[in-house]
Structure 1
Amino acid sequence: MRIISLICVFCMACGGGDSDSPTTDGSDQDVIQEDTGPTHKSTGARAYIIDSDDDIGQGDYVNARIGDFLIANDHVRFVVRGGKHNFYMQGMQGGGIVDVGPAEDDLIQEIMPLGGFSSLGDSTVTVTKDGEDGSAEITVTATMISIPLIEAFAGDFGAEGTMTVKYRLSDSDTALEVGISTDSLDTVMGGVVMFAGGPLTLSSFDGYMISEGPNISYGFVSETPLNITTLGNVNLALGQEITGDEEWRYWLTVGNGSMSSVLDQILSIRQDPAGTVSGTVDDATAVIGAYNADGELVSRFRPNSNGEFSGKLPVGIITLVAEGKGRETGVSVEVDVIENSDTTDLQLSANKPATLEVTTDMPMRIEMTTTTGGRIVQPISAGTSTIPVTPGQWSITAMRGFEYEIDTLDITLEAGQNESWAPKLERVLDTTGWIASDFHLHSEWSTDSNVPLRDRILACAAEGVEYAVATDHDVVTDYRPFVLESLKGRIVVASGVETSTAKWGHINNWPHTVNPDLPGRGSPVWFGLDFPETMNAVGAGSPGHVVQINHPRRGSSALLDNILFDPEDPDLEQLKMFTFNAIEIYNGGDTEAMELALVDWLTMLKHKLPIAATGVSDSHSIGSYCGHPRTYVQVDDDDPATAKGPDVDNAVLAGRTLATSGPFLTLVKGDNGSVQIKVSGPSWMPVETIQLYEDGVAGTPIDVAAYDGNVVRFDNAVSLENPDAAFVVAVARASASAAPMLRAKVRAVSPALWLKKE
């Protein structure tokens, strides 16, 4: 009414009562509206549906959308997924938590409530208390369904009924209270599963768990002890059995990145006997570890800029020690923590780390080892990078994949010593016309990896990989926002997915576009599909779309093992279903599986199936090097500054792929029934034999001479044993190790060279 009144007053002031004034439809007139202020509360406890980007924020792990639900106060902030789809794991609906903490610090992918092996089916999310009375609440009511992923692999263990989840927060709370109840006739176990980003480090304790990140930390605690299981970036916490009208409650606490900031809240919620300790450390960049009488970690403090620390600890004898990356453990201080007491003025001393300052003009991998088993693997970008190092004797190697010579340094570093090094790497292989690619990579968006996205891309560039395809398990990942500025022009990235089926093995497929409104960000859904339906779901046959069968001879996750494919006597009906267009010949360092997959691929070629052979790293960590093995793809534009992903993909579809864990191997048609084979490798790379396969039949291995100062190890015409062969493939091998330069034993498989047009 006040807005209408203001408009009327405005019209009157403009002469609206003058009968001689012209009349209009109002389209040319200014309309004054009252400023009613914020649509929602901006302080204190509050809950509402997000209707503005201002409530979403910016951050690497922000998953909120307009239409999701915010519950927050002046201390903490949480976003609950709305709509008919959950976010991360496929097959469930809205009602889980997708953001926790300030948007710029958030590291949560999704937190889903559990009732035994059941979670959220058809769900309704509502604001049941908006916070006007100082208390906010969001209620989720959902049909309980068996978690599709668990059902696909292990059968239906889900309970029937309705699950109710209540998220509660008052004005003064620093933790979100979550209550789970069901009307199921079955007794179910209340629980929660958290999918989180790679920077989080998880520790589990006596019935609770804490995750530490760079600027934020999380804790899960219940009134009863939690049974905690961790795999990669998946954290599962099971609580107590729920029967009848009972409600199981847990609290999600948020801290400043330190374990101690979360433990303070956990001890208060559990009302555990605790005391407070405080003190200073002489190096504010150290952390303070707190250990119980059994040597188990209890807490970690992060001092402020003045070296001061304080916080709660459980009662008992606690040992405090200054520690940190590259530091030898400092002198310990023992404290007898007494309930409700304060132990103050503790003084700790931290040992200084040694540091290695590396300056380079290109990305590279620095690998450092000691005689006592110490190992550091550090990808670095161009410029100067500082690596903290524990004092001692170190053997250091700088390297950049298969096309470069290496540089080495042996050094003894003392505490506090800073040593500079500028390694020089010479590119010695000519791979013009080919782009180095890795089509199987995992990051923090896979349930079994915790590599942050920026680190994943840097690790690939450091190995000389020029085209990297994201293939996380059942989640579409977009690398593009995470390419460091210093890497632009050095690497091309694409979004893909590893569709990880229970029956048909694992299948990489790309390119994809991230769709944040669908589970798995638009990943293909495979539950309950037969093989042709699965091929259709992953896009087999779509123009420009690569569908790659992964590790085809690796047990339960291998298609060819699962369907009992016999390359010596292939089932023609099976071959008709092979609508994929690529197959991993060499995955990681598994040479036994590689030799089996090679025979499978040759059989497919004999039956004229247009399938490319690839080499992939399947890297899940920084230590399992990206691009080891890799696929060189023959393209018109091999410059990563200008190359286009779709052009590389189409070259894969055309079969122009070299799968290799080291040597650069080419094969071309020669004269008079021969082929020309050329094998190159840096001085450190072993190459021992070359073998031709004519129409899939193995020929006699040919010895390759040791490195004699020429990177071209073999460049000769080889006569074919079968002049009528339709196609030929060359394979290079070596049994010698080349660690740390190579992750895998040397194998290189050329593209199929078709000698006859038909």
Structure 2
Amino acid sequence: MMNFAPLTPRWPLRLSLLAALIAAPGTHLHAAEAFEVGAGREAELPVGKEADGIRGDFVLRNDKITALVSQNAPLRRANMSTFYGEDGVTPGCLYDLALRDKQDDQLIYFGPAGQRGQVSYVKIVEDGKQGECAVETVITAAKNGGVYKRHEYRVRDGEQGLRIQTTLRNEGKAPVKVSTKDAWTRFNETGERDGVTWADAVDPDDRIGYAYGKLSAPGAGAIADEVELQPGQVLTWVRFLAIGRSPAEAWSAVRGANGVPTGRLELALAEADGTKPVTGAGLVLEQEINPGQKSDGSVVAYPDSQGLIALSLPSGTYHGSVEEAGRLPRRVSFTLNQGGVVKQQEKLEPATRLKFVVQDARGQSLPCKVQILATGETKPLNLGPVMRAHGCKDQYHSEKGEFSVQVPAGTYKVVVTRGIEYSHHEQEVALAQGQELVVDAKLARLVDTTGWISTDFHNHSTPSGDNICGTADRLINIAAEHLEFTPTTEHNRIYDWRPTIERLGLSQEIQTVVGMELTGSGSHFNCFPLNPVPFVQDGGAPVWNADPRITALTLRGWQGERQDRWVQINHPDMAFLYNDRHADGVADGGYLGITEMVNGMETENFVDEGVLADSPWRLTKAKNSLATRVETVRQFIWLQMLNQGHRIHPVAVADAHAVHGNGVGGWRMYLPSKTDEPAKIDWTNDLAAHALAGHFILTTGPFLQVTAGDGKLPGDDVRSSGVLPLKVKVQCTDWIDIDRVQILVNGRKEPSLNFTRATHPHMFKDGVVKFDQTIPVKLGKDAHLIVVALLENGDLKTGYGTSGQAKLRPMAYHTPFYVDVDGHGFQANGDNLGYDVPVAKMTPDEVRAKMGK
């Protein structure tokens, strides 16, 4: 059964002027037209979730659709979904396609015959005066290995899509193999039916579908994905790319463009008493097949806000089912005759649902994450794709505390959380079909983080291109996991999350600054604050360089140097950066000076716990593989580098690309702040100074506070005559625990500074405060000190971490204190911790030899 969440209008127009034009009485929208977007016409660009138009691109539109073809400009590219590098540019391709009356573009890129790379020109060839408009993209034979290539994008009045004609001509003297396979970027659901490829929106609530297929012509045969063109041979074919309010509507439009006779369906969906429409269901149209013939896909149609599914379909007999999470599927059948209309009403049985009321101790509504875990014989839930917040597999992330989730009848364990500072609510429920049950959850803020705010410096949504998680979904995920300061760090574009935060009503929960992640085939960098430049390539971002020092220096000065500028290296290959710049297995000193050019490096994301590792390598096996592979332990090499005098601030992030399974809520950081109210957080005049000083706490759950001497914070220089008191306090909410505190001295696990519940039971507690001790650390010479608090034995009480990539062990540590014992300033001791700094390439056998195994 497919599951559909209730319809919610979550993607309004980003440009109100266009909405006004569409709604204005008497506005004429029936003449096809094509134009190049110049200054002053930006409001006429297609808009929506994936819209990517800039000045200089070409708009084609008619009475039903608006489309955009990218201009021929240096580095013209869509987001990272079309990749980067010389062949990653995609001028002359289709970037956007939206309905005129429902501006919600969900297309990122359509490349006819896989079009990618430089072109000769893009221009308008018909402006629409004859009822059609067209733009052509041409790559001359001289620039394409002897093969002339032309793509024409044509829009006709009355059609809910556009015709894309490709012509290939071999102008060389030898046969050439060419690809004819079209390419488009990721969607959540795709399939094929009757030779038509269709796609659904990532979030079915968006109610947008696409489809394309080749148009038949008299005497034309099938075209293989790869064709050998003889000298002088010409190959031409046309496909129709349609958009609809559902995959079924788009699929039908392609079939209709091929001349298939159609009829019209008007199916009204209502509650059992007929008084209220059902808007969240979908009509799954099953493939009609002969006995023994394999089906090539069903397609779904969605109702409008009145519960009406109205669309034209190829004439014939249809069987299918109306499906929605929490309802029993209802079988339907109907026959459409050419030119006829079938009107039906289906009354659906009441839905089974959980109604949530989630509040804090003061009775205020709270953003939260709900896990609905099937128990007994109940099948695991699938509320929707992992890329969205409102229903992702067995979770629901909400920007507010009052909401409903429809689920099948059965038994469940419901767990409600809001990050690592709040208590949790756990409840076993049993739901009969059609029952509504209220879950009243009170979450108390148990952990006292006064003077500190939670932050994550690295996360993504769909503008990044390497994922299709909606920006709103990412921000709801952030609010549900209680992150208070999250810079915008989309791949290769300067972007601002603030408008979406405001639209979601989360301004009191989340603060942000504009930034980006500059990405290429080597080291990736995050940088903020920056200023987005609207309607230009990448929002005005710079270009990545393979030498990380050049990239770092470029970012430091981009748009003018700033005292609050933060530049960090993401998921660094520490061996490559510090010992093997050519990645050839030969030690060469790495990239000299890189430490001084950046403010921090990610030591933690995903599942790493290497700060307590015993060597700089780990041997692993990929899933479903017997081959052993070598991974360097970046935290161990970080400790080695600290001992060489590199003051590298550690950074912990989620680097989230989805909501469920790769969302935020795993590794995060805390920074000192003048305010505990997110809306008042000030990066420039407050947080930046603490970040640049390295006042970081890194954690997957425990809130660790450590001060040295007379109140110095992590990252500070400390003067000590030989005994330094460290005040260590660890708090945990009611579903997190620790049982070990270990102090690292110059990266080594000092046995006398290892405290566990088993060996030092008097030092540990069972309430919110798990550990609160002042520990004297005796030092005979300069040292950097790190306190690590963790749960070494046992497991979590609830499903914490399932928004992140894995179930992470509770752990926290901080930026080192740099302790000067002799009064001459801190001096690193040069200790490599028993191993040479690794090179970038080593075999498993070489690692085993180094480790003495």
Shared fold by TM > 0.5?
Answer: yes
Match for 1:628: what amino acid? G
Q: Could you say which structure has the higher strand fraction?
A: 1
Is 1:464 aligned with 2:482? yes
Which residue number corresponds to residue 406 of structure 2? Answer: 388
CA distance in 1, matches of 2:748, 2:591: 22
Q: How does the TM-score come out when normalised to structure 1?
A: 0.80
Which residue number corresponds to residue 734 of structure 1? Answer: 791
- CA distance 1:650–1:47, change in 2 (3 Å): same
Match for 1:373: what amino acid? P
The partner residue of 2:92 within 84, 90, 95 is 95
Which residue number corresponds to residue 470 of structure 2? Answer: 452
Match for 1:77: what amino acid? T
Match for 2:35: what amino acid? Y
Is 1:476 aligned with 2:494? yes
Is 1:369 aligned with 2:373? yes
Which residue number corresponds to residue 454 of structure 2? Answer: 436
Which residue number corresponds to residue 19 of structure 1? Answer: none
The partner residue of 1:136 within 117, 126, 133 is 133
The partner residue of 1:74 within 63, 67, 72 is 63
Structure 2 contact 194–296 (Cα < 8 Å) conserved: no
Which residue number corresponds to residue 669 of structure 2? Answer: 631
Which residue number corresponds to residue 509 of structure 2? Answer: 490
Tell me the alpha carbon deviations over residues 42-78 of structure 1, each in whole angstroms, 9 at most, x when there is no partner: 5322222335345337655444344432211112221
CA distance in 1, matches of 2:420, 2:96: 41
Which residue number corresponds to residue 23 of structure 1? Answer: none
Structure 1 contact 405–684 (Cα < 8 Å) conserved: yes
Is 1:582 aligned with 2:600? yes
Shift of 1:457: 0.8
- CA distance 1:604–1:352, change in 2 (3 Å): farther
Structure 2 contact 161–242 (Cα < 8 Å) conserved: yes
CA distance in 1, matches of 2:214, 2:169: 21
Which residue number corresponds to residue 219 of structure 1? Answer: 211
Match for 2:380: what amino acid? G
**Where does 1:65-464 land on structure 2 (aligned, <5 Å)?**
65-82=54-71, 84-85=73-74, 86-89=76-79, 90=84, 92=89, 94-102=91-99, 105-108=103-106, 110-115=108-113, 119-142=116-139, 163-183=149-169, 185=172, 186-195=176-185, 201-205=189-193, 207-213=195-201, 214-223=206-215, 241=227, 243=229, 244-255=233-244, 257-270=245-258, 281-283=269-271, 284-285=278-279, 286-292=281-287, 297-303=297-303, 305=306, 307=308, 311-312=312-313, 319-330=319-330, 332-333=331-332, 350-359=348-357, 360=359, 361-371=365-375, 372-374=379-381, 376-464=394-482
Task: Name the % identity.
Answer: 22
Query: Which segment is superposed worse, 395-404 or 345-354?
Result: 345-354
CA distance in 1, matches of 2:673, 2:590: 34
- CA distance 1:635–1:139, change in 2 (3 Å): same
Structure 2 contact 179–225 (Cα < 8 Å) conserved: yes
**Where does 1:548-587 land on structure 2 (aligned, <5 Å)?**
548-552=568-572, 563=581, 572-578=589-595, 579-587=597-605
Which residue number corresponds to residue 644 of structure 1? Answer: 682
Match for 2:160: what amino acid? T
- CA distance 1:306–1:513, change in 2 (3 Å): closer
Shift of 1:729: 0.7
Is 1:611 aligned with 2:648? yes
SS of 1:403's equivalent? coil
The partner residue of 1:703 within 730, 736, 756 is 756
Structure 2 contact 241–254 (Cα < 8 Å) conserved: no
Match for 1:135: what amino acid? E
- CA distance 1:115–1:290, change in 2 (3 Å): closer
Structure 1 contact 94–120 (Cα < 8 Å) conserved: yes
Structure 2 contact 153–164 (Cα < 8 Å) conserved: yes
Is 1:684 aligned with 2:735? yes
- CA distance 1:520–1:265, change in 2 (3 Å): same
Match for 1:440: what amino acid? H
Structure 1 contact 61–109 (Cα < 8 Å) conserved: yes
- CA distance 1:580–1:501, change in 2 (3 Å): same
Shift of 1:560: 7.3
Shift of 1:418: 2.3
CA distance in 2, matches of 1:204, 1:648: 51
Match for 1:189: what amino acid? S
Shift of 1:311: 4.3
CA distance in 1, matches of 2:92, 2:699: 46
- CA distance 1:260–1:279, change in 2 (3 Å): same
Structure 1 contact 669–755 (Cα < 8 Å) conserved: no
Which residue number corresponds to residue 725 of structure 2? Answer: 674
- CA distance 1:195–1:500, change in 2 (3 Å): same
CA distance in 2, matches of 1:631, 1:145: 54
CA distance in 2, matches of 1:240, 1:697: 59
Shift of 1:442: 1.8
- Mind listing any 5+ residue stretches in structure 2 that lack a counterpart? 1-26, 218-222, 272-277, 360-364, 382-392, 614-632, 710-719, 802-806, 827-853
- CA distance 1:615–1:210, change in 2 (3 Å): same
- CA distance 1:108–1:617, change in 2 (3 Å): same
CA distance in 2, matches of 1:545, 1:600: 26
Structure 1 contact 77–102 (Cα < 8 Å) conserved: yes
**Where does 1:590-601 land on structure 2 (aligned, <5 Å)?**
590-591=608-609, 595=613, 596-601=633-638
- CA distance 1:312–1:380, change in 2 (3 Å): same
- CA distance 1:314–1:587, change in 2 (3 Å): farther
Which residue number corresponds to residue 639 of structure 2? Answer: 602
Matched positions, count = 685
CA distance in 2, matches of 1:564, 1:665: 39
Match for 1:488: what amino acid? S
Higher RCO structure, 1 or 2 (CA under 8 Å, sep 6+): 2
Shift of 1:100: 1.6
Shift of 1:559: 6.1
- Mind listing any 5+ residue stretches in structure 1 that lack a counterpart? 1-39, 147-157, 226-236
SS of 1:246's equivalent? strand
- CA distance 1:463–1:128, change in 2 (3 Å): same
SS of 1:719's equivalent? strand
Which residue number corresponds to residue 771 of structure 2? Answer: 714
- CA distance 1:388–1:105, change in 2 (3 Å): farther
Q: How does the TM-score come out when normalised to structure 2?
A: 0.72
Which residue number corresponds to residue 154 of structure 1? Answer: none
Which residue number corresponds to residue 231 of structure 1? Answer: none
Tell me the alpha carbon deviations over residues 223-247 of structure 1, each in whole angstroms, 9 at most, x when there is no partner: 489xxxxxxxxxxx99564844323
Query: Which segment is superposed worse, 452-461 or 738-747?
Result: 738-747
CA distance in 1, matches of 2:164, 2:30: 21
